[in-house]
Amino acid sequence: MRHSAKSALYATATLVLLSGTATADVKVGVITGATGPGASLGIPYKNTFSALPATLGGEPVTYIVLDDATDPATAARLARKLVSEDHVDLLIGSGNVPTASAISYVASETKTPQIALSPLSGEPAKNPWVFSVSLPTTLQLGAVADDIKARNAKTVGYIGFSDGWGDQVYAALMSHAAAAGYTVVTNERYARLDTSVVSQALKVIAAKPDAVVLGGSGTPGALPHTTLVERGYKGQIYHSAAVVNPDFLRIGGKALQGALVAAGPVVVVSQLPDNSPTKKPGLDFGRAYDAKFGANTNNSFSAYSWDAYLIADRAVNVARAKAKPGTPEFREALRDAMEGTTELRGAQGVYTMSASDHAGSDKRAVVLLRIVDGAWKLAQ
């Protein structure tokens, strides 16, 4: 059954977007989890590539968009195919930590630059070919820790995925504990496909924490929240940016009222002050995406794909003066150009890369949202 599903992916889930001509010079391989448990994130990540201009850095471009079904092994296999058979100049994706991490090994081995759409914690010195456009987890949890400190909360419970994403959120939560003055009293985990987290929620409630931080993503990220509320937990509940989409609000319903979420600014772009550096890029992105898919259809994840495009657009324009697309020299020049990104204003942040920082975001990339009556509101 599993083998058949993966085979079907190759047969039916490959989407080639020819934004230029058949002889386009720049090739970009895009991998997202448009099916599987990460689909609520993967679909908007994927959709953005249908709304992009026909050129990248002034060159015609071909985007080859593939679906990894939220499976790390499939993501790695597709990345290898894109490099060895399609000879792409750049890899973009995937949309969650385990799949993006799987692609990063291929990027390193083949010396192909990658822009991950989820936060990777790798060190540029160890893998200089991987960049990440998503909001770093330490920045997200920094905003959460500031709010916990402001509330004078002293104990925090944690429930997260039993994979790399859950590990990242927990590590970031712990990294801010001493400075914010709280102690993390539980570390409960669940799998993305689990249908119940009652036992984990009861353990958290028994520990009586002042607040709870949840390390899930997409629609599966709503499960521990609704369970905690159903079982009577009354404290403040926090989420990461990985839950910011309409399906999460729909699945969580009224139980999510009052939840706080650390996220990129685009989801509340109309509520940002006019002097915000991300307001104009965020509005520009929203108009382009909504023109393709309908009014108010853009979301936080589709915006990260847009920012990946902005970074690549600038870098290709620099690299094409040094080498020809389709060559190892161009891929290296493209990597170097991305590392030289400085104060690039995107929909979700202002990016400045360096040899030691391949995420390039700062506090301008994070806001705290409050869920009120099924909608996102700017909390601070």
Q: What per-residue confidence (pLDDT) applies to 4?
A: 41
CA atoms 187, 191, 197, 199: torsion sign? negative
Q: What per-residue confidence (pLDDT) applies to 245?
A: 87
Q: What per-residue confidence (pLDDT) applies to 20?
A: 41
- Weakly modelled stretches of the chain, pLDDT under 50: 1-15, 18-24
Q: What per-residue confidence (pLDDT) applies to 145?
A: 98
Q: What per-residue confidence (pLDDT) applies to 121?
A: 66
Q: What per-residue confidence (pLDDT) applies to 2?
A: 41
DSSP assignment letter at 358: S
Contact of 338 with 315, CB cutoff 8 Å: yes
**pTM given for the model:** 0.83
Q: What per-residue confidence (pLDDT) applies to 8?
A: 38
Q: What per-residue confidence (pLDDT) applies to 213?
A: 98
Contact of 253 with 226, CB cutoff 8 Å: yes
Contact of 305 with 117, CB cutoff 8 Å: yes
Q: Which residues contact 348 (CB under 8 A, 6 or more apart)?
A: 133, 135, 264, 265, 266, 278, 282, 300, 303, 304, 307, 365
Q: What does the alpha-carbon distance between residue 231 and residue 194 come to, in Å, rounded to a whole number?
A: 18
Contact of 344 with 314, CB cutoff 8 Å: yes
β partners of residue 215? 160
SS3 62: strand
